[in-house]
Amino acid sequence: MLKQFLLAVVIFSLLVSCKTEIKKETSQLTEKDKQKPNIVVIYVDDLGYGDIGVNGAIGASTPNIDKLANNGINFTDAHCSAATCTPSRYSLLTGSYAFRNNAQILQGDAPLLINSDEATLPKMLQKNGYKTAVVGKWHLGLGDGEVDWNKEVAPGPREIGFDYSFLIPATGDRVPAVYLENQKVMNLDPNDPLKVSYKGKIGNLPTGFENPDLLRQVPDGQHNKTIVNGISRIGFMSGGRSAWWVDEEFPDVLVGKAKKFINENRDTPFFLYLAYHDIHVPRLPNEKFLGKSSMGVRGDVIEQMDWCTGEVVKYLEELGLDRNTLVLFSSDNGPVLNDGYQDESVEKLGNHKPAGPFRGGKYSALEAGTRMPTIAYWPGTISSKTSNALWSQVDLYASIAALTGHDLDDREAPDSFNMLDVILGKTEYGRKEMLEESFTLSLRLGEWKYIAPTKRNPKWIDNKGVESGFSSEPQLFNLREDISETKNVAKDNETLVKEIQERIKMIKEKGSRLL
Ligand code: NG6
Ligand code: CA
């Protein structure tokens, strides 16, 4: 009983000290900090902690990203909110954990996941004088469930706060394989209407399961539907031929649209959410990058994505905007090698470690699922360092609110903490407690990491070469002694496990900031 009481006191004081510290630090914002800098969030898909040079990559070189890390802050304990894409993106844009909206990987014809009346990061920035844009992978659903792709698609990014949008609507491996600009399919010929189905085949375009001879990469049983550009996708599509994308053009197209938005808004504060398709499957590098790395196409698209990053940062410099722009670089979930197509990523990996020192990867409850390569770069404001502070992308909402002088009300971004001083490198005192979502929930508390029991088969992602970390038993790891989560000490710490379980229940019921 006494032990339990003492533990509760320890946890409580950890949390209280964390909050007080954040409050105190916030008031140190200088006038310069409040001048509404531009904000560019560069969001990579499926990039692992160990996939960039500064974090030990050996199979691909990333000089442009390394430059940002060496001249900014390289975070060692920064997280996306979940181990898959849609939930992480949902949290980044709303400041809410994804389970609150049951956010899960969406198909390409899913309705918009975020309600038009929900508070979002871009809406909050619009209210504070920003022009806002999303360029790249969306994967948050579009329309109301009955989309006619030949008309304007709404609701979409505009309804949740983006003035401009240029989208890969879901993922590169899902139909529709077309771009949408400001919610209209680009280059569509009205005489060749575009239709999409996830229920069964429509039209007579070849599919991977019927015409494997037409394929450039061998797909699994999900990725074997309509063939576009020699690659079969998840889902069926017919028509719209003049609008089909060419995967190899993604880097030039996305960088081009990003630069155009930056240039057009150079005289007003802007927020650019630049979400690459890379390094998700299908991995189809542009010929400029094909064969450049030593580990096959996965390494080539890492180098391609590094080039894109360099192009955007150089453009900010060219326009003289770099000293007034906060660039945040991160990824939406951990790494995976085989995620639907046989593309030699497994065979050519060599000694490269996509997850760095961590165990797990995409989909996994282990640290590599959410611990992301993360960099903050702002020449003249942020100085060079490595930071071990714990924080999450769900915190971007409250942190950016603080940066732009916006006060949050209680219902806004309920899981988002103001980590601005962590992001600006003024403190390494980050979160003491943080939820991680996968196909179960985990909680980081100080040096501890708890993974809730789940009935999901622990071996379900074995064929992807990723350890799930799932177990029907509660798991507790001490990350200070055991960074790779190999020794489950839950049985030796039953009281702590109970406290953490209680804590998760409270976060679920009330929202993290209201506790
Ligand atoms: C999975 C797909 C995977 C990938 C993922 C989404 C199968 C078997 N696997 O369902 O290939 O598309 O969804 O990735 O279909 S994410 O990064 O957008 O979350
Ligand atoms: Ca992803």
Within this chain, do residues 442 and 392 fall inside the same structural domain, yes or no?
no
The rounded distance, in Å, linking the Cα atoms of 27 and 153 is: 43
**Average pLDDT of the residues of the chain:** 93
- Report the pLDDT averaged over residues 370-383: 98
Residues having C-beta closer than 5 Å to ion ligand 2:
45-46, 85, 332-333
Contact residues for 355 (Cβ-Cβ < 8 A; gap 6+): 48, 49, 50, 334, 335, 361, 368
Q: What is the pLDDT of residues 313-342, one digit of tens each?
A: 999 999 999 999 999 999 999 999 999 999
The reported pLDDT for the residue numbered 12 is: 47
Asked whether residue 16 is domain-assigned, the answer is: no
Q: Which of 400, 430, 460 is the last residue of a domain?
A: 430
Within this chain, do residues 413 and 459 fall inside the same structural domain, yes or no?
no
Q: Which ligand is closest in space to the CA of residue 169?
A: 1
Asked whether residue 217 is domain-assigned, the answer is: no
Q: Which of 54-68, 299-313, 361-375, 455-469 has the lowest average pLDDT?
A: 455-469
Ligand 1 pocket member 467 (CB < 6 A): no
Is pLDDT at 4 greater than 60 in this prediction?
no
DSSP structural state of residue 371: B
Within this chain, do residues 496 and 417 fall inside the same structural domain, yes or no?
no
Amino acid at 316: L
The reported pLDDT for the residue numbered 248 is: 98
CATH number of the structural domain spanning residue 102: 3.40.720.10
Asked whether residue 25 is domain-assigned, the answer is: no
Q: What is the pLDDT of residues 301-313, one digit of tens each?
A: 999 999 999 999 9
Contact residues for 266 (Cβ-Cβ < 8 A; gap 6+): 319, 321
Contact 75, 425 (CB under 8 A): no
Is pLDDT at 18 greater than 50 in this prediction?
no
Assign 35 a pLDDT band (cuts: 50, 70, 90): confident
CATH number of the structural domain spanning residue 498: 3.30.1120.10
Which residue's structure tokens are 């989309």? 147
Assign 31 a pLDDT band (cuts: 50, 70, 90): low
Q: Which of 363, 395, 430 is the last residue of a domain?
A: 430
Is pLDDT at 68 greater than 50 in this prediction?
yes
The reported pLDDT for the residue numbered 50 is: 98
- The proportion of the chain whose per-residue pLDDT surpasses 70, expressed as a percent, equals 93
Within this chain, do residues 253 and 164 fall inside the same structural domain, yes or no?
yes
Instruction: Provide the angle, in degrees to the nearest 10, between the axes of the packed helices 250-264 and 296-318.
Output: 20
The rounded distance, in Å, linking the Cα atoms of 17 and 446 is: 12
Ligand 1 pocket member 84 (CB < 6 A): yes
- Tally of CB atoms within 10 A around 155: 17
Within this chain, do residues 117 and 79 fall inside the same structural domain, yes or no?
yes
| Residue to mutate (ligand 1; options 84, 198, 461, 463; most atoms within 8 A of CB) | 84
The rounded distance, in Å, linking the Cα atoms of 36 and 268 is: 9
Within this chain, do residues 447 and 410 fall inside the same structural domain, yes or no?
no
Instruction: Give the three-state DSSP class for 160.
Output: helix
Ligand 1 pocket member 173 (CB < 6 A): yes
- Of the two residues 300 and 26, the one the predictor is more confident about is 300
Q: What is the pLDDT of residues 120-152, one digit of tens each?
A: 999 999 999 999 999 999 999 999 999 999 999
Instruction: At 405, list the tokens.
Output: 């002088």
Global pTM exceeds 0.85: yes
Nearest atom within ligand 1 for CA of residue 171: 18
HSE value, Cβ hemisphere, 13 Å, CA-based, for 435: 33
- The proportion of the chain whose per-residue pLDDT surpasses 90, expressed as a percent, equals 90
Instruction: Give the three-state DSSP class for 447.
Output: coil
- Tally of CB atoms within 10 A around 187: 13
Within this chain, do residues 424 and 441 fall inside the same structural domain, yes or no?
no
Within this chain, do residues 333 and 252 fall inside the same structural domain, yes or no?
yes
Within this chain, do residues 469 and 343 fall inside the same structural domain, yes or no?
no
Q: What is the pLDDT of residues 290-299, one digit of tens each?
A: 999 999 999 9
- Report the pLDDT averaged over residues 36-64: 98
Asked whether residue 135 is domain-assigned, the answer is: yes
Cα distances (angstroms) measured from residue 326 to each of 58, 113, 308, 310: 28, 28, 17, 15
Torsion of the alpha carbons at 15, 415, 361 and 39, rounded to the nearest 10: -110
| Residue to mutate (ligand 1; options 104, 222, 331, 460; most atoms within 8 A of CB) | 222
The reported pLDDT for the residue numbered 453 is: 98
Within this chain, do residues 447 and 361 fall inside the same structural domain, yes or no?
no
Beta pairing class for 448-451 and 475-478: antiparallel
The reported pLDDT for the residue numbered 510 is: 86
Q: Which of 261, 259, 258, 228 is nearest to 245 (CA)?
A: 228
Asked whether residue 19 is domain-assigned, the answer is: no
Q: Rounded to the nearest whole angstrom, what is the distance from the C-alpha of residue 501 to the centroid of ligand 1? A: 29
Owning domain of residue 462? 2-9+434-514
Is pLDDT at 20 greater than 90 in this prediction?
no
Q: Which of 102, 164, 114, 162 is nearest to 139 (CA)?
A: 114
**Domains identified in the chain, total number:** 2
Q: Which of 375, 396, 430 is the last residue of a domain?
A: 430
Q: Rounded to the nearest whole angstrom, what is the distance from the C-alpha of residue 339 to the centroid of ligand 1? A: 7
User: Hey, which residues does 270 pair with through a beta bridge?
Assistant: 131
The rounded distance, in Å, linking the Cα atoms of 134 and 386 is: 29
Assign 410 a pLDDT band (cuts: 50, 70, 90): confident
**Residues written for the chain:** 515
Q: Which of 34, 28, 130, 72 is nearest to 380 (CA)?
A: 72
The rounded distance, in Å, linking the Cα atoms of 226 and 201 is: 8
Is pLDDT at 360 greater than 80 in this prediction?
yes
Within this chain, do residues 296 and 403 fall inside the same structural domain, yes or no?
yes
Asked whether residue 202 is domain-assigned, the answer is: no
Within this chain, do residues 65 and 166 fall inside the same structural domain, yes or no?
yes
- Tally of CB atoms within 10 A around 469: 28
Cα distances (angstroms) measured from residue 461 to each of 365, 430, 505: 12, 32, 27
Is pLDDT at 210 greater than 70 in this prediction?
yes
Is pLDDT at 514 greater than 90 in this prediction?
no
Asked whether residue 378 is domain-assigned, the answer is: yes
Contact 173, 223 (CB under 8 A): yes
Asked whether residue 494 is domain-assigned, the answer is: yes
Ligand 1 pocket member 85 (CB < 6 A): yes
